[in-house]
Amino acid sequence: MALRAPLSRACTRVTSVSPASSAFLPNASQWRRSNATIAPSATKAASGSKGPTAMVFMNMGGPSTTDEVGDFLSRLFADADLIPLGRLQNYIGPYIAHRRTPKIQKQYAEIGGGSPIRKWSEYQAAEMCKILDKTSPETAPHKPYVAFRYANPLTEDVYKQLLEDGFGGGNGGRAVAFTQYPQYSCSTTGSSLNELWKWRNRLEGKRASGEADPAGAIKWSVIDRWPIHSGLVEAFAQNIEKTLATYPKERRDKVILLFSAHSLPMSVVNRGDTYPAEVAATVYAVMQRLGMKHQYRLVWQSQVGPQPWLGAQTSDTVKNLMKKGQTDMVLIPIAFTSDHIETLFELDKEVIAEDAEGHEGVKRVESLNGNPVFIEALATIAKAHLESGSACSPQMALRCPGCVSERCLAQKEFFAGQAKHLQAE
């Protein structure tokens, strides 16, 4: 189904946003706080003319302990946006999650007992907001939140925390949904936005108040992709250069660069998802920054199940190159902004330690994590977005050519339609 005409025009420049009220909801105590990333109250600091602003980092998340693995996998395999299993999703998904839980628990135990993605996401969001308070005082204070799709802090709990902190719920206020997937996919950013839209509808929209667009609700905008931002490219390039410098000079120029990204089912790719093209754009931008001095390939990891996925697979590529005598390779996790199981276990323990048999010439670059160049880039992206007055990028308004999801349509129309609220203030 094609988007209705107003959607494609909604993601346009607008002029201003309104400050959030400092009042708290009288019944805020009914909401659970245990799983939410808690930001300081909106009443705690003086606001700029357009502040305070909630900056909500969105990502898939990961279990912080091995006890959380089962619930994490259950949510993951229940998400048809990420892993489409057809009409039997509600039956097959729980079965796969249950079968895989013991194995995945062992993997998390081997990387320290849980994923570090929450730690790094909260750090990145907090540090970015510190920079924004200085560079964008008119939208200050900037309140950091982290909303995960499949692990704590879940989107539902973070939305309740926003309300409890004085955003929305009749108070108005501005929030930015900032995807931490640099390259857009309906399976990742799209899924997170579907979840955010769902809880907005339940907590502030028609299911909560009877009104689809109640007065005083949070005014949302979205940073939905940033695959070739110069700061992102520079952070990756510097990390690659540091790793290349560890090779002997006579071998350095012949090292092959393997940019590894999370794969997608071909059913999603063939629907017209932009992810493969945007990942390739990031790779090419990084290679340009490096002067195109090295041979390189874009490869794909983390395939699950028997259906066809985007390839070539990272593990197969490393094994095949090793057989051909190419033993100097650098793996670059190009679609990840911090360490998690895909880097610490899959790349480090499976690909390097097993597939490459621990060969000293096969290495992985450091993940972005607390990289100050990367965090500065996040702040630059956020500041430009706030100054633009845009509700979302023009690309977000265009559905995949093969998309038939009514939920996707409604979600896109909602976020694009936020432009009228930003413009009205």
Say which of 60, 73, 193, 244 is annotated catalytic.
60
Say which of 55, 339, 368, 385 is annotated catalytic.
339
> How many whole angstroms separate alpha carbon 240 and alpha carbon 253?
13
* Core vs surface per residue 324-362: b (16+ CB within 10 A) or e: eebbbbbbbbbbbbbbbbbbbbbbbebbbeebbeeeeeb
Say which of 75, 149, 225, 421 is annotated catalytic.
149
Say which of 7, 55, 82, 257 is annotated catalytic.
82
- 339 assigned to active site: yes
> How many whole angstroms separate alpha carbon 172 and alpha carbon 369?
33
- 156 assigned to active site: no
- 159, 177 in Cβ contact below 8 A? no
Residues 352-370, mean pLDDT to the nearest whole number: 97
Say which of 7, 55, 58, 150 is annotated catalytic.
150
- 286, 207 in Cβ contact below 8 A? no
Determine the pLDDT at residue 425: 60
Residue with tokens 């509808």: 201
Tens-digit pLDDT profile for residues 121-153: 999 999 999 999 999 999 999 999 999 999 999
Say which of 346, 378, 386, 399 is annotated catalytic.
346
- 3 assigned to active site: no
Residue 152, CB half-sphere, CA atoms under 13 Å: how many? 17
Say which of 81, 204, 342, 355 is annotated catalytic.
342
Query: E strand or H helix at 421, and its extent?
Result: helix 419-424
Q: Which fold has domain 53-205+213-226+372-423?
A: Rossmann fold (3.40.50)
Determine the pLDDT at residue 14: 37
Tens-digit pLDDT profile for residues 15-67: 333 333 333 333 333 333 334 444 443 433 457 788 899 999 999 999 999 99
Determine the pLDDT at residue 178: 98
> How many whole angstroms separate alpha carbon 63 and alpha carbon 338?
14
Would you say the C-alpha torsion 229, 149, 302, 327 has a positive or negative sign? positive
> How many whole angstroms separate alpha carbon 422 and alpha carbon 425?
6
Say which of 55, 58, 76, 196 is annotated catalytic.
76
Say which of 262, 271, 340, 364 is annotated catalytic.
262
- 13 assigned to active site: no
**Mean pLDDT over the full length of the chain:** 89
> How many whole angstroms separate alpha carbon 64 and alpha carbon 111?
11
Mean pLDDT comparison of 44-53, 83-92, 259-268, highest-scoring range: 259-268
Q: Is the pLDDT of residue 362 over 50?
A: yes
Q: Where are the domains of the chain?
A: 53-205+213-226+372-423, 230-364
CATH architecture of 230-364: 3-Layer(aba) Sandwich (3.40)
Burial label for 401, CB within 10 Å (0-12, 13-18, 19+), is exposed
Determine the pLDDT at residue 38: 41
Tens-digit pLDDT profile for residues 168-196: 999 999 999 999 999 999 999 999 999 99
- 150 assigned to active site: yes
- 76 assigned to active site: yes
- 406 assigned to active site: no
